Structure 1
């Protein structure tokens, strides 16, 4: 009798985790002429890929750009390529060819890669802000504080932190049971809509905590640091006596400020108005905030950074001469 009771207790204590074979990404439902939006996303992806690859090639090929600052710029371009590739091709495949069913493992992989590269975008902008802060507020100590070693340490630490945060978020998903709906109301395997599907069947409190902790660490903390750094930079600009030096300092910050505005403003506006937005509008806004910054970042650096423009022109001239040379000889 005791053995039967023990076996029954053990059976009750066993928790069965229900993992569906697939999820359904609902995406953009009930919107007419969405094929034009997908063509637009395809165009954005191609520009992102070409532009960021060009930035990485120029930085790699020109020794003049092998400075600590351009380690962060290279890392931002690499992150932009990876984030666009993790998100856009799968999005186009799902919605252009009606392949909105995604397996459980593929969904977690999609969540992992999209989130880690989005996180690194924010961290890279913070590192660039630190570079500008030291360059303008502590110019005499810049080469001591911002070295190749310190920049590698900063970017390496950012990657480790991003990896840990995303691994924890994905790991917490694997403990959930999905016993009811498998429809994810988003354009990819988004963390919030995904774990909320398991709310009737599992304890999602740890996932809910991570859903608040992640934006705090990824968006708001970096944003506060960037705002404080530019308050300090603005104060330092007023202490610069020579107008040409002040103008040069302002130019070095302009491109970074534009990148910051493009990345942080749309996503924060979307989150602030989250409750008032229709589902489709929210999904389109979030998709735009995910795909537009990787496209615009290299364009802004090419147009706004004089040092990079000089290096890019030198590289293009060298390539043109290499191509034209054999034609002239013949």
Structure 2
């Protein structure tokens, strides 16, 4: 069989999400809607945190960074997916494929580290309230965020370098909708044992390590909340923690399914469906779960909208119906 070590002048062909092209237009509409919701939701959160001084706290600092990350994370995958569905333009250069792989793993790993930092922040705020303001100062928050991004980039560099050194067969069809690790390994004609084991160990350390530490933080939070003799506090805390944990478990569960296991017998279609959750669905849920359900964020957003609306031509301040509509929305 002909073997080629692909250079930047060569290309892969991305098969796409489904073999049935009749479903391309409906899928395009659905994914475009989720993509726009993801972008708008995260941009709103970043804008509100920046404009409202009352939200200049460690928790919202982490949330704004998380929103910034989610924008880049979903932009790495979804635009190319939309182009493939609409234009049937399925070719991607070797350099473009490795670049997409690098940024996908970088942003995915950084999300794990930021979720851990956010869980640690909540643990300090609820379990160590007397030390919170002194320990979680601006310097500490900046260090945690910087460490998350730098470590995420190093994490993304390892699989990109390992896979870029492999030889690939004459078939260059990636049976997926983006340049992911498993389909690229399946496409290689090299001995991938060491590469696969190295990526498996890296994924195990990052995903299981961050997940366990995040869950431990939430366990301590729940224990602390149970010691408070207020039913309203219990309901609010468990509602918030339950929503957060749902997103965390969905994200980690699908990622672990894909990466923290040896070569699997699962079908390619099953892998694609699972990948949709952590590349398309979860980024769309995060701004809703983490911030837009938050009363403080909604109140700040309403104040900003009320403050900005009178600046538009034709707007009359005495139009109470507009204010009622805004209040209904938020």
Same fold (TM > 0.5):
yes
Contact 2:310 2:316 in 1 (8 A): no
SS in structure 2 opposite 1:33? helix
SS in structure 2 opposite 1:253? helix
Deviations 1:238-272 (A, max 9, x none): 22234455455445534533432342344446679
Q: 1:36 aligns with which of 26, 33, 36?
A: 26
TM-superposed deviation, 1:209: 2.5
TM-superposed deviation, 1:153: 0.7
Q: 2:94 aligns with which of 93, 104, 114?
A: 104
| Alignment match, 1:311 | 300
Q: 2:128 aligns with which of 134, 138, 141?
A: 138
| Alignment match, 1:227 | 215
* Structure 2 residue 184 is the aligned partner of structure 1 residue 210: no
What is the CA–CA distance in structure 1 between the aligned matches of 2:240 and 2:87, rounded to whole Å?
A: 44
| Alignment match, 1:264 | 252
* Structure 2 residue 52 is the aligned partner of structure 1 residue 65: no
What is the CA–CA distance in structure 1 between the aligned matches of 2:182 and 2:199, rounded to whole Å?
A: 7
Contact 1:254 1:304 in 2 (8 A): no
Q: 1:17-36 alignment to 2 at 5 Å?
A: 18-19=5-6, 21-31=10-20, 32-36=22-26
Contact 1:71 1:152 in 2 (8 A): no
Q: 1:293-312 alignment to 2 at 5 Å?
A: 293-312=282-301
CA RMSD of aligned residues (A): 2.6
Query: In the comparison of the two structures, how many residue pairs are matched?
Result: 312
| Alignment match, 1:49 | 39
Could you tell me the TM-score, scaled by structure 1's length? 0.85
Could you tell me the TM-score, scaled by structure 2's length? 0.85
Contact 1:128 1:256 in 2 (8 A): no
Q: 1:111-190 alignment to 2 at 5 Å?
A: 111-190=101-180
Moved more, 259-268 or 33-42: 259-268
Change beyond 3 A, Cα 1:39–1:183? same
Unpaired segments ≥5 residues, structure 2: 319-330
What is the CA–CA distance in structure 1 between the aligned matches of 2:136 and 2:314, rounded to whole Å?
A: 41
